[in-house]
C-alpha cells in the first residue's frame, strides 16, 4: 500500500494502481513525444526539401546566368566583328565613292552624309549615262542621216570637187562632185538612209540616181550602167542601189558622186572620210551647213524620245 498525504487529506493506493497511473503518464508522455517528434521531423523534412528546392533553383539560375553571360559575350564578339566588317566596308565604300567622284569629275562636300553622298553620285552617274546615251544616239543618227563613207570601192579619184577644165568641152567649169574610177559593174551603195527621188537617164549624167536624205541632205550618183532601185523606194545606208557604168558624157567607167545640202553642193571627199572620231572636225570645216540648228533639232528630238521611255 502507498499512502499519499497532502492538505486535502490522505489517499492510499495500491502499488498496482500506482504503476498503472505512472504507466498511463509514461505512455501519454511517450505519445506526446512521438507526436511532437514526428511533427518536428516533418517540419525539418519540409524545411530540408524547401532548402533543397531553393538550392536547385539557385543552381539552375546560376547556370542560366552563366549561359546568358556566355551568350552575351559571344553576341558582343559578333557585334564587334560586325562593327569591324562594317568599318572595312565603309572604308571600301568611301574609296569606291572617291573613285566614282574622280571618274565623274565631281567633288562632294566632305561633311555630306554617306546616304546623301551616295544619292548625289547616283543622280550624277545617271545624268552622265543619259548624256552618254544621248551622245551615242546622236552619233548613230548622224551616221545614218548624213551621207558619209564611200559609195563604191574605187581605184582612184579621176576628177576632184571644184573648178576644173572639163575633159570633153575643155572649158573651165565647176565640177559638183567626185569622179571615182572603177570597173563597169562595180556595186554602188547609198551612203545614208533616205528615199529615191529620181532613178532614170538625165542628160550628160547618163543613168542617174538622186536620193533624198533626212535633215536636208541629198546624194547623186551618175553614169551608172544599171539601176537596183526605183523612184519612191526607201533605202537604208549601205543598200545596193546600182552599178558603175560609162553612160552619158563620160570619158571612161567611173561614178560621179555628189552631196547636196539645201541645193548647195558639198565636197564629198570630206564626208567620205567621216567616222565617229572626226565628224566634229568635218562639221567645223564645212560652213555651208547650219550644224548648230541641225544638232539642236536632233538633241531636242532625242531628249523627247528618252523622256517618253
Residues 272-299 pLDDT 10s: 998 877 888 888 888 899 988 888 888 8
Cα–Cα dist 294/280, whole Å? 13
- Judged on CB neighbours under 10 Å (0-12, 13-18, 19+), 110 is exposed
- Do 163 and 212 lie in a common domain? yes
Q: What pLDDT sits at residue 237?
A: 95
Q: Is residue 202 part of a domain?
A: yes
Residue 197's H or E segment, with its range, is strand 194-201
Could you write out the DSSP letters of every residue in 114-140? HHHHHHHHHHHHHHHHHHHHHHHHHHH
- Do 161 and 24 lie in a common domain? no
Residue 43's H or E segment, with its range, is helix 15-104
Q: What pLDDT sits at residue 129?
A: 44
Which residues pair with residue 231 across a beta bridge? none
- Do 122 and 265 lie in a common domain? no
- Do 162 and 244 lie in a common domain? yes
Residue after which a domain boundary falls, among 54, 76, 98: 76
Please state the domain count of the chain: 3
Confidence of residue 309 (pLDDT cuts 50, 70, 90): low
Confidence of residue 248 (pLDDT cuts 50, 70, 90): very high
Closest Cα partner for 219 from 201, 193, 243?
193
- Do 70 and 134 lie in a common domain? no
- Do 167 and 248 lie in a common domain? yes
pLDDT exceeds 70 at position 10: yes
**CATH number of the domain encompassing residue 266:** 2.70.70.10
Confidence of residue 134 (pLDDT cuts 50, 70, 90): very low
- Judged on CB neighbours under 10 Å (0-12, 13-18, 19+), 75 is exposed
- Do 218 and 133 lie in a common domain? no
Q: What pLDDT sits at residue 172?
A: 77
Per-residue pLDDT of 207-228, as tens digits, reads 999 999 989 999 999 999 999 9
C-alpha cell at 251: 570619158
- Which range, of 31-35, 184-188, 242-246, 263-267, averages the lowest pLDDT? 31-35
Q: What is the mean pLDDT of residues 129-157?
A: 79
User: In terms of residue numbers, what domain contains 51?
Assistant: 13-76
- Do 196 and 268 lie in a common domain? yes
Amino acid at each position: 500500500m502507498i499512502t499519499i498525504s497532502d492538505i486535502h487529506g490522505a489517499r492510499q493506493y495500491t502499488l498496482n494502481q500506482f504503476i498503472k497511473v505512472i504507466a498511463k503518464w509514461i505512455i501519454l508522455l511517450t505519445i506526446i513525444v512521438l507526436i511532437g517528434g514526428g511533427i518536428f521531423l516533418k517540419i525539418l523534412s519540409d524545411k530540408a526539401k524547401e532548402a533543397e528546392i531553393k538550392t536547385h533553383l539557385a543552381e539552375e539560375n546560376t547556370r542560366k546566368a552563366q549561359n546568358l553571360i556566355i551568350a552575351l559575350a559571344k553576341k558582343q564578339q559578333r557585334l564587334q566583328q560586325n562593327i569591324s566588317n562594317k568599318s572595312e566596308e565603309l572604308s571600301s565604300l568611301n574609296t569606291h565613292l572617291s573613285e566614282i567622284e574622280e571618274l565623274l569629275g565631281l567633288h562632294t562636300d566632305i561633311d555630306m552624309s554617306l546616304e546623301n553622298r551616295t544619292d548625289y553620285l547616283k543622280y550624277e552617274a545617271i545624268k552622265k549615262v543619259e548624256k552618254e546615251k544621248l551622245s551615242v544616239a546622236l552619233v548613230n543618227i548622224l551616221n545614218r542621216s548624213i551621207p558619209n563613207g564611200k559609195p563604191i570601192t574605187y581605184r582612184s579619184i579621176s576628177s576632184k570637187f571644184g573648178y576644173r577644165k572639163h575633159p570633153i568641152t575643155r572649158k573651165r567649169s565647176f565640177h559638183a562632185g567626185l569622179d571615182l574610177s572603177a570597173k563597169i559593174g562595180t556595186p554602188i551603195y547609198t551612203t545614208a538612209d533616205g528615199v529615191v527621188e529620181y532613178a532614170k537617164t538625165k542628160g550628160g549624167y547618163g543613168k542617174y540616181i538622186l536620193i533624198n536624205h533626212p535633215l536636208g541632205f541629198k546624194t547623186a550618183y551618175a553614169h551608172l550602167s544599171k539601176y537596183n532601185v526605183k523612184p519612191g523606194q526607201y533605202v537604208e545606208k549601205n543598200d545596193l542601189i546600182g552599178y558603175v557604168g560609162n553612160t552619158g558624157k563620160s570619158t571612161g567607167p567611173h561614178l560621179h558622186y555628189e552631196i547636196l545640202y539645201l541645193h548647195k553642193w558639198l565636197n564629198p571627199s570630206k564626208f567620205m572620210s567621216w567616222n565617229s572620231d572626226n565628224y566634229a572636225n568635218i562639221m567645223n570645216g564645212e560652213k555651208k551647213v547650219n550644224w548648230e540648228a541641225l544638232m539642236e533639232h536632233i538633241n531636242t528630238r532625242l531628249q523627247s524620245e528618252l523622256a517618253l521611255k
